[in-house]
Structures are given as structure tokens and as C-alpha cells.
Amino acid sequence: MRLYVTIFIKRLAVVLEFVITIMLGIGILLLCLRMASSLTNIPNLDVWPNYNDLLETCFNLIIGVELIRMMYQHTPDTVFEVLLFAIARHIIMDHSSIWSSLVGVCAIAVLFATRKYLFCEFDITDEFIFRATTKVHAVNKIIHVNLPHEPGDTLLDLITAKFNEFETETGVGACVYIGDVGLRVAKMHEGKISRIEVIHAIH
């Protein structure tokens, strides 16, 4: 029961992210149309939008676009882009103090150093632990993967066949990969596999 609740909450979070992303995208599109229809006002510094308003609004829209990318890609690079534009906006728009600009420039330098030396490539994964006797077709349906199987096959049947195919020694932690899905022995009882972790890479 706990597994199904966890899966439901994850799916709900994905749906909510999608809804928020759609609303943000619609808002940005409407603001772009409003800006486009008001560009004739730019020469008049007393009417919106003047040049400063245009610059600030464009920065805000760009940050919004990067937020949309961050919501559907979930990678360190998208977070980096959002932070970079936010800091750049502050440096360009805020003329209150040279020290504030200096801190912003240092922050950008730290971001680039972090990206170069500390970022590493990785896949975001969903990880679920099932009983070894769980049917493969049920796993495919629950977590939306496409593990190959014959009617009635269990996870134990599938992982055992793969272990035999690749001559992998059975034990806790032993793992095989089928496309973008990994099967790992999570628990054994009296020498038999009792729990199998299904690891689904999200690209």
C-alpha cells in the first residue's frame, strides 16, 4: 500500500508541475503580446514601457522561460541558467552601489566555477522496490516502463533469466540493465531473492 501511495504522490507532483508550467507559459505569452502592442510608447519616457521598463520586463520574461525549462527538464544546467539570468538582471538593473554589482559579478564567477568543476552528468531516476513475485506486466503498468516478458512472468523470472544470460552472480546489490530500466536485488531471504528494486532512468 505504501508503494502505491508513493507512486500516486509522485505522479500528482508531476501533474501539478505540468499545470503550473502551462499557466506560467500562458502568462508569459500574454505579457509578450502586451509588450509587443506597446512598443510605440518607448520614445516617451513618461509612459509605460520606456526603455528601463522594457529591459526589466524582458529580463523577467526570460527568467520565466528558464523556469519553465527547469520544471520539465529537472537538470543542474536549467537551475544554473535561472540563477545566472536572475543575478545578471540584478547587476544590470540595480545601480544603487558598486559593491552590490561586485558581489553579483563574484556570484556569477562562482556559478561558472561550480558548473565547470563540480557539475557531473547524471540521470534522474525513479526507484521502486517490489516483491520478487510481482508480475512484470503489473510493474510495467504501475511505473510506466516497458520490460520485456512472457505472460505470467514475475520480476524474479526476468532477473534470473538476465543473470543467467550475462553470467551474473546472484546476490544483494547485483544488477542488470534492460534499456533505461535497471533491476537490482534489494533483499534476499534464505538464499532466495525476495525484493527487487526497479530503477527507471528519466532522461
Span 142-193, pLDDT tens digits? 888 889 989 999 999 999 999 998 888 889 999 998 888 899 999 998 889 9
Q: What is the pLDDT of residue 132?
A: 94
Distance CA 106, CA 7 (A): 42
Local confidence band at 122 (pLDDT 50, 70, 90 cut-offs): very low
State yes or no: pLDDT of 120 exceeds 60: no
State yes or no: pLDDT of 200 exceeds 50: yes
What are the start and end residues of each CATH 3.30.465.10 domain in the chain? 124-202
State yes or no: pLDDT of 95 exceeds 90: no
Q: What is the mean pLDDT of the chain?
A: 85
pLDDT tens profile 42-85: 777 677 777 777 888 888 899 999 888 888 777 777 888 889 98
User: Are the beta carbons of 105 and 92 closer than 8 angstroms?
Assistant: no
State yes or no: pLDDT of 16 exceeds 60: yes
Max mean pLDDT among 2-6, 38-42, 118-122, 177-181 falls in 177-181
Distance CA 171, CA 160 (A): 11
User: Are the beta carbons of 124 and 74 closer than 8 angstroms?
Assistant: yes
Give domain 124-202's CATH number out of 3.40.50.2300, 3.30.200.210, 3.30.160.620, 3.30.465.10: 3.30.465.10
